[in-house]
Amino acid sequence: MTFRSFCAPLAALSLAALAAPSLAANDAPPKEKAAPTEYTANSASKTFTGTFGGKSLRYTASVQEQVLKDDKGMPLAAIVTTSYIAEPRDPARPVTFLFNGGPGSASLWLQMGAFGPKRVAIPSDARDDGAPPYPILDNPDALLDVTDLVFIDPVGTGFSHAIGDKDPKDYWGVTQDAKSVAQVIRQWLSENQRWNSPKFLGGESYGTTRSAAVVNQLEGGYNDVALNGVILISTVLDFGAGADTEGNELSYITNLPSMAVTARYHGKAQATSAASFAEEARTFAIGPYAAFLLKGQRASQAEREAVRAELSRFTGLSERYLEQADLRVTPARFYKELLRDRGLTVGRLDSRYTGRDYDNAGETPDNDPSFYGIDGGYTATANAFFRDTIGFKTERDYVTIGGVSDWDWRLNGERDLDAYLTVAPYLGRALRENSGMRLFVAQGWYDFATPFFAAEYSLSRTGIPQDRVHFEYYDAGHMMYVRDEDRHKLSEDIRTFIRSR
């Protein structure tokens, strides 16, 4: 018995003795709060007008709790959806379900930044968003002219939460999360009579991982919700391809093209365009560099010297530094070293952004300037829009990111596959078994969180029909829509994807 377990009963007895004289004879000790047998879903709606893709229309914005229940009808969790439905309602219109990533991120980024009818105005040129007030603007790039929109905040994000004594951690895992999101989609389709509408699913970052896992839940059995398309924005499907850990040579290969275009952007490398330099870097990374890495310490001195010179040309780092790093530079080191001579670091989510650390001597940056440069504007405007404009009343905090912990990375309850976790086969199977489904993949050149070459790698594996996978590239980073030109391009690219169903 530990000291703590020994003392606990004594403390309990002492407290009981102190409290006893104040209890009336007919008083009973307080009971534990029972789990509710009913739960009243919270919701709010408002109708607006707007012009999207050049088309004027009325739409209803609704923030609503979708209540998940067990097989006995007991409420377990309230998952909040924010839907934008064109009026008059038309079941023949497509509907697109969207979420962000994390895991643990709410959908405000895609909603207030890219596809929702209102957006936050932050600098488009990789500058910090500063302090409030932040303008909330009409968003002509919203997709409402071609599809109704439903944004989903999984448990622990946004206003979504477990009910009663239900442990929210029961929803915090690749498969558990996917099952709950798939259940929300089924409920929404039933409540809104949209089962026969064309359906699209989309996510950003871990939201692409979630997309693949949700596709498996929707189409992996015989009670299918068939999809017309899946939209992957800043894709991460194969976690082994980007694992920056000792002994994994693949991440050096998949990160190199991102280093090259970043070096070019900041004037540390020379090339006519990001696209052309990316292609040069791909060829080198999958060819001479991969061969060198796989040989390990058996590579010849001549190979080492040739690779070192090319690495320096692509990355903008000195051959001396590359040699000290054994020709293997992790992204975190690259963020700090590339612009060390200017006293600056570059961003992880978007390497166009630069920051200034406490000092210039460290090995890695203090923080990511491409995240702290945008988060204030999104958080403020999401709360203002949902609470004040639409009128959703709640005492709960809106959790933008970081609201989950102890994520379960096992797939379908199997052994821990985190060392080589890939959900790409889910998409391959869905494409093979649903001839009408296609993939749209959007990647920013300057994204180190989900590098474009890693996305290309994961989606070019055996079993994934290549004729229904379409890539588009953008001159920004992880959240390419923060750049005005790329938000418009992304919107037009997805419009084309949805219309071509």
Q: Specify if 227 maps to a domain.
A: yes
Helices marked H in 299-343: 301-315, 319-324, 331-337
pLDDT tens-place string over residues 19-36? 333 334 344 445 445 556
> Does one domain contain both 362 and 425?
no
Neighbours of 38 (CB within 10 A): 8
In b/e form, how buried is each residue of 192-221, taking b as 16+ CB within 10 angstroms?
Answer: bebeebbbbbbbbbbbbbbbbbbbbbbbbe
> Does one domain contain both 63 and 186?
yes
- Residues 378-389 have a mean pLDDT of 91
Last residue of a domain, one of 371, 388, 423: 371
Q: Is the pLDDT of residue 201 over 80?
A: yes
Between strands 469-474 and 438-444, the pairing is parallel
Last residue of a domain, one of 371, 389, 412: 371
Q: Specify if 363 maps to a domain.
A: yes
Residue 147: the pLDDT is 98
The total domain count for the chain is 2
> Does one domain contain both 62 and 179?
yes
Q: Rounded distance, CA 427 to CA 211, Å?
A: 9
Residue 100: the pLDDT is 95
Q: Specify if 1 maps to a domain.
A: no
Last residue of a domain, one of 322, 345, 371: 371
> Does one domain contain both 287 and 383?
no
Residue 378: the pLDDT is 85
> Does one domain contain both 219 and 168?
yes
**pTM: predicted TM-score of the whole model, two decimal places:** 0.89
Using pLDDT thresholds of 50, 70 and 90, give the confidence band for residue 420: confident
Q: Specify if 19 maps to a domain.
A: no
Q: Which domain holds residue 65?
A: 43-240+375-499
Helices marked H in 113-240: 174-191, 206-219
Residue 125: the pLDDT is 66
Share of the chain above pLDDT 70, in %: 89
Q: Specify if 332 maps to a domain.
A: yes
> Does one domain contain both 365 and 406?
no
Alpha carbon 373 to its chain centroid, in Å, reads 17
Q: Is the pLDDT of residue 252 over 80?
A: yes
Q: Rounded distance, CA 55 to CA 45, Å?
A: 22
Q: Which amino acid is at 100?
A: N
Long-range Cβ contacts of 268-275 (<8 Å, 24+ apart):
268/315, 268/316, 268/338, 268/339, 269/313, 269/314, 269/315, 269/316, 274/445, 274/475, 275/445, 275/473
> Does one domain contain both 265 and 224?
no
> Does one domain contain both 71 and 215?
yes
> Does one domain contain both 366 and 298?
yes
Residue 279: the pLDDT is 98
> Does one domain contain both 342 and 420?
no
Across the chain, mean pLDDT equals 89
